[in-house]
């Protein structure tokens, strides 16, 4: 079965790169925007205000990472629903392939693409942003991997349920973007109205953002034990549920 997983992953990467806008849209555009923004504000940020400087130091890397992850989730949801609608899943069902293997292959593809985007952004950031990267990169990569798996598992669940490809993108967006709004990405969770804070507490993205920011700033792992627990729980629950409700057609 592993042989099938690698084959499927490799073929999916090749197929993705054959899409006319695939690589450019997913990797090229985010890096390009990052570079342009960097050129415009990067060097002056420290002069504008301490808040701007802190945003670029911590907020920006985390924001960029989360945006890439959310993009990956939305595209996972869309791809799976296109495969279902086109009968590709139905055809695969008649083989010994299991749904977990299909999802895993797509998750690996998304992880690799996200990693490629981030590496390019870090390289670009080094050139244009004044804040040197003092952050523990290995730790941050680990934290990002954990967060990505957890958030992608929400993607699985949506992908297992959405009826048609036409709804996939909007449904994914309706679930993902509000999650971002209260996650602490744009404003600290403590500064939100109480109701929003309560919502934030049950959303996994909040814990991902807290973990990513903490690790980037150099916090120890044990300080984020409850973030890790929440993310692990999300992953286990969503994966188990999606394996149960996965629809081939």
Partner 1 sequence: MQERIGVQLQQAQLQKRIKVWEALDLWASLYHRNAIDGERLLEQLGLIGKRNAWFMTLSGGQKQRLFIALALINDPELVFLDELTTGLDPQARRAIWDLVRGIRERGKTVLLTTHLMEEAERLCDRVAIIEHGRIIDIDSPERLVKRHCPERTVVLATDDRSAAERFRAIPRVDEITCSGSQFTIRGSGDDLVTDVIHCLSENRTRVTDFRTILPNLEDVFLKLTGHPIRD
Q: Give the helix/strand (H/E) hosting 60.
A: helix 60-85
Task: Establish if 166 lies at the interface with partner 1 (CB under 8 A).
Answer: no
- Return the closest-CA partner of residue 140 out of 67, 31, 66: 66
Closest distance of CB 95 from partner 1, Å? 5
Q: How far apart are CA 23 and CA 28, in angstroms?
A: 7
State in angstroms the smallest separation of the CB of 24 from partner 1: 15
191-205 per-residue burial string, b: 16 or more CB within 10 A, e: under 16: ebeeeeeebbeebbb
CA distance 215 to 71: 22
Q: Which two tokens stand for residue 99?
A: 């749904």
- 72 near partner 1 (CB under 8 A): no
Least distance from C-beta 15 to partner 1, angstroms? 5
Dihedral-angle region of residue 58 (phi above 0 means left; psi in -120 to 50 means alpha; beta otherwise): alpha
Residue entry with tokens 């279902």: 84
The minimum distance between CB 164 and partner 1, in angstroms, equals: 14
Render the burial of 161-183: b for 16+ CB within 10 Å, e for the rest: bbeebeebeebbeebbeebbbbb
Structure tokens at 240: 């188990």
Instruction: Tell which residue, 247, 72, 102, 81, has the closest CA to residue 176.
Output: 72
- Residue selected from 21, 47, 50, 95 as contacting partner 1 according to rule CB under 8 A: 95
Interface with partner 1 by CB under 8 A: which range of 33-41, 93-101, 114-122, 173-181?
A: 93-101
Contacts to partner 1 from residues 7-46, by CB under 8 A: 7-8, 11-12, 14-15, 18-19
DSSP 136: -
Q: Which is nearer to partner 1, 20 or 132 (CB)?
A: 20
Judged by CB under 8 A, the residue of 37, 88, 111, 237 near partner 1 is 88
Decide whether 11 or 245 has the Cβ nearer to partner 1.
11
For partner 1, which residue of 90, 126, 127, 134 counts as binding (CB under 8 A)?
90
**Binding flag, residue 129, partner 1 (CB under 8 A):** no
When the beta carbons of 79 and 192 are compared against partner 1, the nearer one is 79
Q: Does the footprint of partner 1 cover residue 86 (CB under 8 A)?
A: yes
Q: Which stretch binds partner 1 (CB under 8 A): 1-9, 130-138, 158-166, 231-239?
A: 1-9
Provide the binding-site residues for partner 1, judged by CB under 8 A: 1, 3-4, 7-8, 11-12, 14-15, 18-19, 83, 86-88, 90-91, 94-97
């Amino acid at each position: 079965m592993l042989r099938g997983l690698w084959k499927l992953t490799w073929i999916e990467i090749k197929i993705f790169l054959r899409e006319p806008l695939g690589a450019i849209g997913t990797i090229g555009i985010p890096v390009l925007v990052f570079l342009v923004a960097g050129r415009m504000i990067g060097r002056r940020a420290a002069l504008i205000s301490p808040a701007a400087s802190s945003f670029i130091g911590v907020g920006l890397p985390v924001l960029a990472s989360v945006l890439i992850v959310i993009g990956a989730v939305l595209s996972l949801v869309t791809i799976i629903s296109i495969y279902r609608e086109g009968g590709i899943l139905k055809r695969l069902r008649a083989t010994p392939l299991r749904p977990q293997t299909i999802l895993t292959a797509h998750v690996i593809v998304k992880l690799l693409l996200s990693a490629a985007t981030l590496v390019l952004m870090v390289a670009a950031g080094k050139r244009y942003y004044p804040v040197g990267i003092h952050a523990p990169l290995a730790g941050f990569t680990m934290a990002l991997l954990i967060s990505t798996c957890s958030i992608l598992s929400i993607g699985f669940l949506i992908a297992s349920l959405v009826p048609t490809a036409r709804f996939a993108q909007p449904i994914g967006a309706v679930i993902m973007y509000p999650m971002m709004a209260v996650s602490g990405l744009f404003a600290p969770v403590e500064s939100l109205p109480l109701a929003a804070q309560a919502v934030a507490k049950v959303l996994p993205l909040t814990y991902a953002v807290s973990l990513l920011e903490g690790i980037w700033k150099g916090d120890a792992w044990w300080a984020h034990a409850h973030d890790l627990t929440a993310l692990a729980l999300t992953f286990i629950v969503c994966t188990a549920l999606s394996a149960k409700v996965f629809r081939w057609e």
